[in-house]
Amino acid sequence: MREDGKIDYIEFPATALPEVKAFYAAAFGWTFTDYGPDYAAFEGQGTDGGFTSDRDSAPAAPLVVLWADDLEAMEARVRAAGGVITLPIFTFPGGRRFHFNDPSGNELAVWSER
């Protein structure tokens, strides 16, 4: 159900669409609907959000944070799919997380409770 003022869609730039689709399929099991040669959509991946004012850790662009039941296993999947870990697993007040770049250089994070 869509609601006014709620995050409805996130659009990422992609330098190479086939590689970025292969990465997200391998790392997270995402599937895609192609809309021409330059656009692929994904659905059903869930979303919540937050803001940070920590100038030392704030991303230069919006940071999408994904969930993992097993953070170490997910980090291994991201590496195996070709993701580049930019911040290894670390703790924060709500749990633990790591950051990575996808093949197009987009930074995302994955978190888990303690």
- 8 in a domain, yes or no? no
Q: Is the pLDDT score of 7 beyond 70?
A: no
CA distance 64 to 109: 6
pLDDT at 86: 96
Encode pLDDT of 82-92 as tens digits: 999 999 999 98
Residue 98 or residue 12, greater confidence: 98
Per-residue pLDDT at 88: 97
* Structure confidence at residue 38 (pLDDT): 87
User: Region 10-17: what's the mean pLDDT?
Assistant: 85
pLDDT at 8 exceeding the cut of 90: no
* 21 occurs within a structural domain: yes
Domain membership of residue 65 (yes or no) is yes
In a domain, 23, yes or no: yes
Domain for residue 105, yes or no? yes
**Domain hosting residue 27, numbered range:** 17-46+60-112
CA 111 to chain centre: 10
pLDDT of residue 51: 67
Q: How confident is the model at residue 53 (pLDDT cuts 50, 70, 90)?
A: low
Model's pTM, two decimal places?
A: 0.76
pLDDT beyond 70 at 58: no
In a domain, 76, yes or no: yes
12 part of a folded domain: no
> Which CATH number do you get for residue 86?
3.10.180.10
**How many domains is the chain partitioned into structurally?**
1
Is residue 54 in some structural domain? no
